[in-house]
Structure 1
Amino acid sequence: MRKTHYSTVRKFFHNPFFKPSTKPRPFKAYSFVPFSPLAMLDPTILTIGGIVLGIAIIERILERWGVIDLVDQFAKVMRFILPVAFYSALFYFFATFIL
């Protein structure tokens, strides 16, 4: 003889009978790329790039105006600043976005 189970509508909606028999297993995904390409849109990296680009544009404008002495001074300073800015931005990028 079968056992009959009675339930009210309220009990049915708040405590459904269907329960999954298996629990979801944790899924580990591995990526060959340790960072997202969208990570380059970080405000710090964009700011460093914008400052370097702005200085390069100012240098070109001064060169067109014929102020060669000032352009040479900019070139001497940028010979040091550009590599430092590039490597610091690269270090910041890898230190921040690799999981």
Structure 2
Amino acid sequence: MGKTKGFTFRKIFPSPHKPSLTRSRPFKAYSFVPFSPLAMLDPTILTLGGIVLGIAIIERILERWGVIDLVDQFAKVMRFILPVTFYSALIYFFATFMF
């Protein structure tokens, strides 16, 4: 029978890494992406969005009331106004946003 040998805990597991005494230098991090989500809170864009949302809600209410002919007129007008409003707001946003 072989002789058993005992090991101490310190021999099996090395001691934890000691932090170095030299401190790392702080560095400045710059963002190359100038976009901020807060820029979407522009009052003009919020106003245009609110107007379009209000017209859509009015259209739904009129549809529930059964005034289908008026809803059709709203739909015809909105089919033109929505894309024009969206692209105008997009152009305005990029024209006034400081890059």
TM-score (norm 1): 0.67
| Structure 2 equivalent of residue 73 of structure 1 | 73
Q: Which residue of 2 aligns with 1:38?
A: 38
Alignment length (residue pairs):
72
How far does the alpha carbon of each residue in 1:18-55 deviate from its partner, in whole angstroms, 9 at most, with x for none? Answer: xxxxxxxxx8x4513x3211011110000000000000
The one-letter code matched in structure 2 to 1:31 is F
Query: Which structure has the greater CA radius of gyration?
Result: 2
CA distance in 1, matches of 2:58, 2:97: 32
SS at match of 2:90: helix
Matched residues, percent identical? 86
1:51 aligns with 2:60: no
Structure 1 residue runs of 5 or longer lacking an equivalent are: 1-26
Q: Which amino acid aligns with 1:40?
A: M
Aligned CA RMSD, in angstroms, stands at 1.7
Aligned to 1:82: 82
Higher relative CO (Cα under 8 Å, sequence separation at least 6) belongs to: 1
User: What amino acid does structure 1 have at the position aligned with 2:32?
Assistant: S
Aligned counterparts of 2:95 and 2:72: Cα–Cα separation in 1: 35
In the alignment, the residues of structure 2 paired with residue 56 and residue 98 of structure 1 have an alpha-carbon distance, to the nearest angstrom, of: 32
| Offset of residue 92 of structure 1 | 0.7
